[in-house]
Structure 1
Amino acid sequence: MSSTTAQRRTVALASAAVVALALAGCSTDTNAGSEGEGKVLTFTAAGEAPAQAVIDAFEDANPGVTVKATFANDDASYQQTLRTQLSAGTAPDVFRIWPGGGNATAVRTLGDDDLLMSLEDEPWAGELSDSQRSVSVNSDGTLVGIPVTVVGIGAVWNDQALAEAGLTPPTKWSEVLEFCKAANDKGKVAFALGLKSAWTTQLVPYALTSTLVYGPDADFTEQQLAGSATFVDSEWQNAMDKYAEMRDGGCFNENPNGVGYDEQMTSLGEGTALGAIQVTSAAANAQQYAAEDTTFSMTPVPATDDPADTYLPVSVGIEYAINADAKEPELAKKFLEFLASSEGQAIYATESGAAPALPSEDFETGPVLAAVAEYQADGRDRPFPDVFWPNPKVQSEHLTAIQELFNGSISATQVLERMDAAFAEG
């Protein structure tokens, strides 16, 4: 899935044009010094704070090494620019990518185009679980990405705003609309929603389908690939209908299509909204807009009236890869080895508001991530569905169609019909 990396520092924003120029030039910087010392590693990512924190620690641990980094805050422009630079042969040595094959800069998509270096022989490769490896390999099964964070999707709550409203999170679907009405009666928005940032459109459906579709039928995508299942003739229809019910039941702020992610996080942080159905890292982003003593927590989004049926969507959130034509391949591998270490994993996860993908004795789990750990331990977690979709067009169609659904120009069924058509393209 596409998601915005949580930031705990002020992030310098760059236009797509500036990012393109920066990326175009950054891969040409090399240094003829001795191995390691005096070398320059080029790097880019969407989202600055977690990556820069790891870069600082890596440079401290490797005196004489410089990491020349370029950052973008917008996932869409980052993906477009990175793809262009990879095709032109001017991309940096190390860069952020997405797990699976859900978009144009995902592991499988770039790996199948021979744009990523094999990581099979790296010392950390054996630490990946089967599920982590499945979203970090190309179609030939070659490891080409390193998973860095694990994120979940659920209802992220402003604890103080929730308590002041005298409400508790719903645990059954029948309680959801009642909760939304009660929040409105208190002058609050139940769930802040910012669909102007297109990647957020998928989060509510993913939260609902983890319980309605992939929880009871973990092989649903395989059935789709075999031609025996479709979105429109499955519980995806139920999930989309519930999304529309929440829209019509006053669960969200007015005009979600006109609200961006930052506005959504502002509303959550300031407490004008009690919660937001978001990735776990949203809490860290909302914190910058919140009073100093504000705390956040997360609960799963119920889709049935039996809490025992509820599943939580949990997936690898962020991956990194090495350019197949990296100017400093050995230094790039050394950076990924640091990123895979207990220290590197803890730094990145803490700064991004996520959990580490690889084992880390240095990481402390907070209240937002507690639900992820709980549902993983119970076996009630499911991957984000897009990581196994056969092409990036399915997710792209999904994002656009949800916006149109909220404009009232298409129905929930038409959303799924368009996703089916994109899925059929293979």
Structure 2
Amino acid sequence: MTFSLKAVGCAVVAGLSLAACSTSPDSGGSPGSTSTASGDIKGKLTVLYDKSFQSALDPVAKAFERKYPGTKVDVNYVSGDVSNLISNQIQAGTAADVFITQPGSGGAMNVHTLAPQGSVRDLSDAPWVADIPKLWRGDMAYKGKTYAYPGTIQGLGGIYNLTKMKELGLKVPTTWGQVLGLCKSAKEHHVYAYAQGFNDPAGPQMVYLALAGSLVYGPTPDFSTRVKEKKTSIPASPWKEVLTKYKQMNDAGCFGEGAMGRTRPQGGTELAAGKALGMIEVGAGLAPVQLQAPKSKFTVAALPATNNPADNYFTALPGYTLSANAKAKNPGAAKAFLNLLAEPKNINRYAEGYASSPLIPNDDFKAPATLGDFDKAVADGKAAKLADWPNPKVNEVAQQGVQAIFLGKDSVDGVLKKMQNAYGD
């Protein structure tokens, strides 16, 4: 399995952000159709999915074919720029019956982009819609109608190679001072602390999004509203501390040599090989790393931003969502596929493929040890939503700004000002 979280990372990062029903039969292709009787589900169902997570979807496809004899699930597993591919296929009228999407707003394959275009099917009458946790309902819907099945929820924090750290006598940091200490100790052992890939469309944002959970959105969940109402601004907020600490990590050599030319897949490979101790990444990044190092133990932990462990928040976000093509050739099978995925035995197996948890909870799911800290953070109310940008330009400016700061071409204050200007565009 290739470490390829390009689209997931963009989903993560682009900024996140809900039914009317029809009784028309599914065979007619009506967006609100409800018929999913076994006898009505037949023929080929086409699906487009990220190859990085083939192990998550394959069991679902097989379960679907078993439940509905006479069906064939044809999955096109792709790598690279999935978002651009989906956009092109939608425009050309060649998109699959079911395809991966991203929650909320911020990019071409996000729910809030595709729904108003009429590109995805209204799923509001699906049996799982009412169970979507309130915190995340808006990310799956548009103007009160649901257009995506949520899949999994993941943390954005540090993924650590516990086997390598134990070998070196090092521990996962729980305070900001320990983060910088880990960077120092790593260099002394001729490795480096965090395998960030800055030569990647989604790479520069991971660290600041993780820090912002503890410094901005955890303690101030309504931060975006406060900025919108002009009660604060990005330059006058803890975002200054976020970027300042990010710069401190770079200055301390936390990211090793060659970080500006490193991709996220390369970073995942170096983490698996023990050349790096950790990587600040979305939780889904753990699964492909584990496949590359099956004998090593890993864990996921919040990235500390202060010297008080009680201040730590896990930035949390949905992973890939799945939507049905509004012009699906087999609309009944498309809806039935998403409904089958939502069944506990299927979504729990699917979540294992992401090293994540089902976004819609169920009593049958048992979190693995690697997700212990994240599940506890969610249960304790110490999970913060991702940065909620009003438009994707803010995050683009921030990512470019981080690289400019590291190269000495801009300052923290300069980047914060540019972010604020983009926020108002």
Shared fold (TM-score greater than 0.5)?
yes
> What residue is the counterpart of 2:64 in the other structure?
58
Deviations 1:110-165 (A, max 9, x none): 11222221111111111111012121111x12211110010101111111111111
Q: 1:169 aligns with which of 172, 175, 182?
A: 172
Task: Write the letter of the residue equivalent to 2:381.
Answer: G
Say yes or no: does 1:119 pair with 2:123: yes
Distance 1:89 1:415 in 2: 40
**Aligned residue pairs, count:** 390
- Counterpart of 1:222 (choices 208, 225, 228) is 225
Shift of 1:5: 7.8
Partner Cα distance (2:300, 2:326) in 1: 39
Equivalent position amino acid for 2:65 in 1? E
> How far, CA to CA, are the matches of 1:71 and 1:403 in structure 2?
32
1:87-166 to structure 2, matched below 5 A, reads 87-138=91-142, 140-166=143-169
Q: Equivalences for 1:325-336 in 2 at 5 Å?
A: 325-336=327-338
Counterpart check, 1:205 vs 2:208: yes
Q: Which runs of 5+ in 1 are unaligned?
A: 7-33
- Give the Cα–Cα distance (whole angstroms) in 1 for the partners of residues 410 and 96 of structure 2: 41
Describe the shift of the 1:271–1:120 C-alpha distance in structure 2 as closer, same or farther (beyond 3 A). Answer: same
Shift of 1:393: 2.5
The answer to whether the 8 A contact 1:198-1:400 is kept is no
From 330, 344, 347, the counterpart of 1:345: 347
Cα distance in 1 between the residues matched to 2:417 and 2:95: 37
| Alpha-carbon shift at residue 239 of structure 1 (Å) | 0.3
Query: Counterpart in 1 of 2:27?
Result: none
TM-score, normalization by structure 1? 0.87
Q: CA deviation at 1:351?
A: 1.1
Q: How far did 1:36 drift?
A: 1.6
In the alignment, which of 231, 234, 253 is matched to residue 231 of structure 1? Answer: 234
Matched AA of 1:314:
A
Tell me how far apart the structure 1 counterparts of residues 379 and 7 of structure 2 sit (CA, whole Å): 25
Partner letter of residue 380 of structure 2?
A: D
User: 8 Å contact 2:6–2:201 — kept in the other structure?
Assistant: no
- 1:35 to partner: Cα distance: 2.7
Map 1:196-345 to 2 at 5 A: 196-290=199-293, 292-345=294-347
Q: Which amino acid aligns with 2:344?
A: S
The amino acid of 1:382's aligned partner reads A
Q: Is the 8 A contact 1:148 1:316 kept in 2?
A: yes
In the alignment, is the contact (CA less than 8 A) between 2:284 and 2:319 conserved in 1?
A: no
Aligned equivalent of 1:67: 73
Q: Which residue identity does 2:292 align to in structure 1?
A: Y
Amino acid at match of 1:128: I
One-letter amino acid of the counterpart of residue 373, structure 2 = A
Would you identify which runs of 4 or more consecutive aligned residues in structure 1 move more than 6 Å? none
User: How much does 1:382 deviate?
Assistant: 0.7
CA contact (8 A) 1:298 1:367 kept: no
- The aligned amino acid for 2:124 is E
Q: Which residue matches 1:415? A: 415
1:424 aligns to 2:411 (yes or no): no
Distance 1:233 1:87, change over 3 A: farther
Partner of 2:396: 396
Letter in 1 for 2:78: A
| C-alpha distance after superposition, 1:155-188 (max 9, x if no partner) | 1111111111111122211222122111111112
Aligned mate of 1:382, from 384, 406, 416 = 384
Rounded Cα–Cα distance in structure 2 between residues aligned with 1:4 and 1:356: 21
Verify the 8 A CA contact 2:121 2:324 in the aligned structure 1: yes
Question: Which residue is equivalent to 2:48?
Answer: 44
- Are the aligned partners of 1:183 and 1:190 in contact in 2 as well (CA < 8 Å)? yes
Post-superposition shift, 1:419? 2.5
Match of residue 89, structure 2, among 81, 85, 88: 85
Q: What's the offset of the Cα at 1:403?
A: 3.2
Q: CA deviation at 1:101?
A: 0.5
Question: 2:120 & 2:226 partners in 1: Cα distance?
Answer: 29
Bigger mean CA offset, 106-115 vs 119-128:
106-115
Q: Measure, in 2, the Cα distance between the counterparts of 1:323 and 1:391.
A: 25
How far is the alpha carbon of 1:204 from its aligned partner? Answer: 0.7
AA in 1 matched with 2:136: Q
* d(CA) in 2 for partners of 1:228, 1:262: 40
Provide the secondary structure at the position in 1 that maps to 2:74: strand
Compute the displacement of 1:340 (Å): 0.9
Q: RMSD of the TM alignment (CA)?
A: 1.9
Between the aligned partners of 1:146 and 1:3, the Cα distance in structure 2 is 19
CA distance in 1, matches of 2:214, 2:223: 12
How far has the Cα of 1:361 moved from its partner?
Answer: 4.6
Shift of 1:94: 0.9
| Distance in structure 2 (CA, Å) of the matches to 1:283 and 1:333 | 29
